[in-house]
Chain A
Amino acid sequence: MSASTVKKHTMTPTAVIEITDDVVAEHGLSPDEYKMVLDIMGRVPNLTELGIFSVMWSEHCSYKSSKKWLKTLPTEAPWVICGPGENAGIVDIGDGQAAVFKMESHNHPSYIEPYQGAATGVGGIMRDVFTMGARPIANLNALRFGQPGHEKTRHLVDGVVAGIGGYGNCMGVPTVGGETAFHSSYDGNILVNAMTVGLANADSIFYSTAAGIGNPVIYVGSKTGRDGIHGATMASTEFDEGTEAKRPTVQVGDPFTEKLLLEACLELMGTDAIVAIQDMGAAGLTSSSFEMAGKGGVGIEIKLDQVPQRETGMTPYEIMLSESQERMLMVLHRGAEDEARKIFEKWELDFAVIGHLTETGRMVLTVDGETVADLPIDPLSEASPEYDRPWVETPLPATLDAADVAPDVDPMEALAKLIASPDLCSKRWIWEQYDHLVMGHTLERPGGDAAVVRIPGHNKALAVTSDCTPRYCQAHPKTGGAQAVVETWRNLTATGATPLAITDCMNFGNPERPEIMGQFVGAIEGMREACLALDYPVVSGNVSLYNETKGTGVQPTPTIGGVGVISDIAHTTNLAVKTEGDCLIVIGETVGHLGASLYAREIAGIADSDAGAPPPVDLAVERTNGDFVRGLIENGEINACHDLSDGGLLIGLADMALAGNQGIDITIEADMPQHAMLFGEDQGRYIVSCSAGFAAQLINKATEANIPAKQVGIVGGKSLKLSPDCAISLATLRDAFENWLPDFMSPDD
């Protein structure tokens, strides 16, 4: 079929649409990009073809601004089975098993329609994981909302949380962890980052590389409707006054169908029928078919009239660009169709042979035998545009002097205020709406450093966490990028897990602005260094740019999801203090760094722009201290452990006291201003708890390893006490910790 015989438009009652400059611009293609389209096609594309270029070259699908930098991240380790580029990353967890995981953003749709936006974000990331042959065993989510006072914040929190719960709960996959924070930079662009961790047999992993000329291309799952058309393009632009009008670009989730799809896919994966499989996520049938063919270096012919459709009169354009949920594309071995069809019919799902692989390297779409689009695959997938956007480095701000950061505030008053602040308060109101126990393997529930999920039938478990400190990333992206990685590593370590690998979800503003691009480049550089120093590679990820409204971008937020393995669940711990008389010891050096701290923001009221440099991250120290702490847990020498991060030492002690429902007598010698010692956010630190009899030995052990270790308190009583006249009762502390979020969400109660 020569290109000139392609019909300009088809099967649609609407008139043929001429491809004008305006139509090109509406499709988010720059004039230069459209020139490339004309060169590649050798003719003017029809609307379907233009739509396909538009989504495949969107930032969301092509990673055109980010891939130059993503390539610099370390992605390999002996335990890595599959790094970035597939539906999810995979690491070996021993016993022939693998953990399959990825984090993905669903920011733009969640702002426009919070329930469905968040729900389909969860659905999409679970599909990415079970596409590879894994059963999802844990979900996490990292959420960023605007300031609590913003008129939309409450509505968005309510909808996003209900959407995440609505989808995950119905799927029967526990939502075990995550984080939620608030900042004015997210007023117009919230972040909804969802992560799924799945379990697979290491010898039964499924990939998306199409192969075998003539093999059938199969569509399974829900029918295709008109929802979500151009979602990927919408997610690749800034928001403005017209944002509300984009609601039709948000998809609608059907978690029960996804549950059926999960079971049907896993059942089919028990046979030898599948050559390749890919979920239909952003850009739906277009991206799944182009990516599968692109990876395999083959062509595909698709009969669009064979695609199961929910609505009548859908045009090729609509079918190709729909982002209807709960759909999968597969390439099967020839002759396996009937066996596969039986499985999908048993689960009451659509199953359709919609095409076959060809050797042309082209995507040919037909309707009733007539060609409606004919495009080369490579320039739209593997060889899509790559930009080296101009960028400027964010300079490291000056270090803040502790004497300028509210030195005279009563520490317990500051503690009560901090622990009731939106970022530090209990997120129970959120995670109680998520079924975090279904499947029965949740060993550490939400609220700790990392969640712990047992591997069924084994004595081992996975620890999972997500972290990022955007105010550090804003102040100095490289430090912030490194800190996000090390905080996940510390959180995993604090449970006794050996950290294995990360997934990243890079949320930034408009990359066409050099300072934003510089934030991205800086964060990647920090992450790269941290991953290398910790042997903690990136195995999957996602980039969300243009999180920006009317020229104001979000704080740079490279959310990191970390996964570690606990080889023996007898040797794990959590943050709750256990026994009266136990000693609390800080591992790692406290220097009292208050720059970019929550104390500076919430207590001293210092603006972000004046809050100084974030705490430096010493990667060698992180590794030494973390390995030491993990050893203590493995040896059963400590009975509680908590990583120190936001809010510093006093918040850490309060967390441990509240979790264990026992007080702590704080016994510190201040060799620096007291507020700096109590609230400084120095990195590389943990608080551990051990029996009084072992404390001296533990400190000796640390000293021999050149690791600072200092006793800071003793477990006992019902209050957190610095001195007899400087104390706060657990009851007061718990009220402050627990009440802010429910009160905020139900102001009338």
Chain B
Amino acid sequence: MVDALTQSMGAAPQLIWHRETVLPDLDLIVLPGGFSYGDYLRSGAMAARSPVMKEVVRKANDGVAVLGVCNGFQMLTEAGLLPGALMRNRSLKFICRDVFLKVDGANQTFSGNYSSGQVIRIPVAHHDGNYFADNETLNRLEGEGQVGYRYCDAEGNTGDAINPNGSARHIAGIYNDRGNVLGMMPHPEDHVEDLQGCSDGRGLFDGLVEALS
């Protein structure tokens, strides 16, 4: 994640220790993937209660852009910044593979470099990526354009057989209602240069830099 951000920003991001209680002035907060506290409780549940998260929530509510990837997405739902929860994959197994995502390009902060309906190839690597929310919430997310990314095939078709983890309505990533918080399970940072086999994820970071600078 640090490498991908550095490539797009031209400068390294600042790393913040989880016990910090004050955040500096910043344009973007990124909660990267990983296994915070080993995910021994629910994924992201303990990290969502780290001292620094109070400040992250405050900044998010002030309108600062927040990106949570994988474990970061799980933390965002646990912290209440995004609705729903990430349950264990339908297969009950960890899954690491490339998937195709259909982008909803309407969010100018996070998807400015993608066109609406564009299909991108990005890897997933998670055990708990099966997005769940009640129907009312799902309807609202869809109705308000808050579904940022959906699992699909190379042609953009969705379906249960294509969905890697059983996630509701094939959801891979969602925005909060204000549009300044994005949580997504796939790892765009692992597809930012051709050497990695694909650079489709680069657009997200380049778009962020353009939108926020």
Contacts and interface: CB of A to CB of B under 8 A. Distances in A.
A437 B79 CA distance: 27
A165 B94 CA distance: 8
Interface stretch (A254-262, A498-506, A702-710): A254-262
Contact of B125 (A169, A443, A569): A169
Nearest to A452: B195
A262 to B, nearest CB: 13
A434 B35 CA distance: 14
Of residues B93, B96, B192, which shows the largest number of chain A Cβ atoms within 10 Å of its Cβ?
Answer: B96
Contact of B93 (A162, A172, A454): A162
B3 A254 contact: no
Interface in A146-174: 162, 165-166, 169-172
B89 to A, nearest CB: 10
Main secondary structure of the interface of B (DSSP, over half): mixed
Interface string B156-180: 0000000000000000000000000
B27 interface: no
Interface in A360-381: none
B94 A437 contact: no
Given A435-B125, A440-B4, A456-B3, A170 B35 contact: yes
B35 to A, nearest CB: 4
B190 A440 contact: yes
A633 to B, nearest CB: 16
Interface in B92-109: 93-97
Contacts of A435: 94, 96, 125
A743 interface: no
A51 to B, nearest CB: 32
B114 to A, nearest CB: 20
A165 B33 CA distance: 16
B95 A433 contact: yes
Interface residues of A, number: 27
A141 to B, nearest CB: 15
Interface stretch (B37-45, B52-60, B129-137, B203-211): B37-45
A162 B127 CA distance: 11
A258 to B, nearest CB: 9
Nearest to A461: B195
B96 A437 contact: yes
Given A432-B97, A569-B195, A169 B4 contact: no
A440 B95 contact: no
B187 interface: yes
Of residues A171, A172, A438, A569, which shows the largest number of chain B Cβ atoms within 10 Å of its Cβ?
Answer: A438
Contacts of B40: 256
Contacts of A171: 35
Contacts of B93: 162, 432-433
A166 B93 CA distance: 10
Contact of B123 (A433, A437, A569): A437
A591 B112 CA distance: 60
B125 A433 contact: no
A170 B39 contact: yes
B38 A170 contact: yes
A259 B35 contact: yes
B38 A443 contact: no
A437 B187 contact: yes
B213 interface: no
B38 A255 contact: yes
A438 B125 contact: yes
A436 interface: yes
Nearest to A431: B96
A261 to B, nearest CB: 13
A442 interface: yes
A438 B96 CA distance: 10
A445 B127 CA distance: 19
B78 interface: no
Contacts of A169: 35, 94, 125, 127
B25 to A, nearest CB: 26
A443 B190 CA distance: 11
Contacts of A431: 96
B84 interface: no
A255 B37 CA distance: 9
A254 B38 contact: yes
A256 B37 contact: yes
A440 B3 contact: yes
Contacts of B187: 437
A437 B195 contact: no
A440 B37 contact: no
Of residues B39, B127, B189, B195, which shows the largest number of chain A Cβ atoms within 10 Å of its Cβ?
Answer: B195
Nearest to A254: B38
B96 A432 contact: yes
Contacts of A259: 35, 38
B34 interface: yes
A454 B39 CA distance: 28
B9 to A, nearest CB: 16
Of residues A433, A434, A440, which shows the largest number of chain B Cβ atoms within 10 Å of its Cβ?
Answer: A440
A186 to B, nearest CB: 23
B196 interface: yes
Contacts of A165: 94
A445 B125 CA distance: 14
Contact of B35 (A256, A436, A454): A256
Contacts of A438: 33, 125, 190
B39 A437 contact: no
A440 B35 contact: no
Interface in B116-161: 123, 125, 127
Given A437-B125, A437-B187, A442-B196, A172 B34 contact: yes
Contact of A440 (B38, B39, B97, B196): B196
A569 B93 CA distance: 33
Contact of A432 (B37, B95, B189, B197): B95
A456 B95 CA distance: 25
A454 B125 contact: no
Interface string A250-270: 000011110100000000000
Nearest to A569: B195
A607 B97 CA distance: 38
A231 to B, nearest CB: 23
Interface in B7-41: 33-35, 37-40
A171 B127 CA distance: 14
Contacts of A432: 93-97
A317 B123 CA distance: 49
A443 B195 CA distance: 6
Interface in B64-112: 93-97
Contacts of B38: 170, 254-257, 259
Of residues A256, A259, A442, which shows the largest number of chain B Cβ atoms within 10 Å of its Cβ?
Answer: A256
Contacts of B33: 438
18 contacts: A169-B127, A170-B39, A171-B35, A256-B38, A257-B38, A432-B93, A433-B93, A434-B96, A436-B96, A437-B123, A437-B196, A438-B33, A438-B190, A440-B1, A440-B3, A440-B189, A445-B197, A454-B195
Top 10 nearest A-B pairs by Cβ distance? A256-B38, A170-B35, A435-B125, A433-B94, A437-B190, A435-B96, A165-B94, A440-B190, A437-B123, A432-B97
Given A170-B35, A433-B94, A438-B125, 18 more contacts: A162-B94, A166-B94, A169-B35, A171-B35, A172-B34, A254-B38, A255-B35, A432-B93, A432-B97, A433-B96, A435-B94, A437-B196, A438-B33, A438-B190, A440-B4, A442-B196, A443-B195, A445-B197
